[in-house]
């Protein structure tokens, strides 16, 4: 869901999981979605809990337990 240019989550029953607080949101893969806070990206689980802090300049979705990220010009 989007409200005031912020993104949040709700489940298939329409129940709010996470109030709109993210500046960007990408789809779930391997149980994690990549979200943007300010100019940085991190990952949340399906309960809306931030599992990997938004410290990355760029990120791609998880696949087989791994994700490609970029921070300070380094990719991994």
What is the DSSP code (8-state) at residue 63?
B
- The class of domain 2-75 in CATH terms is mainly beta
3-state helix, strand, coil split of the chain in percent (to 5) is: 0, 65, 35
Which value, in Å, is the radius of gyration of the alpha carbons in the chain?
Answer: 12
Label residue 12 exposed, middle or buried (CB < 10 Å: 0-12, 13-18, 19+). exposed
Task: Render pLDDT for 26-67 as a digit per residue (tens, 0 to 9).
Answer: 989 999 999 999 999 999 999 999 999 999 999 999 999 999
pLDDT at 70 over 90: yes
* Strand 58-59 with 16-22, pairing: unpaired
């Amino acid at each position: 869901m989007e409200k005031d240019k912020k993104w949040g989550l709700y489940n298939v029953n329409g129940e709010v999981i996470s109030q709109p607080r993210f500046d960007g949101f990408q789809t779930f893969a391997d149980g994690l979605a990549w979200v943007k806070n300010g100019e940085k990206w991190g990952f949340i689980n399906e309960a809306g809990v931030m599992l990997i802090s938004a410290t990355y300049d760029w990120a791609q979705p998880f696949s087989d337990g791994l994700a490609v990220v970029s921070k300070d010009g380094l990719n991994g």
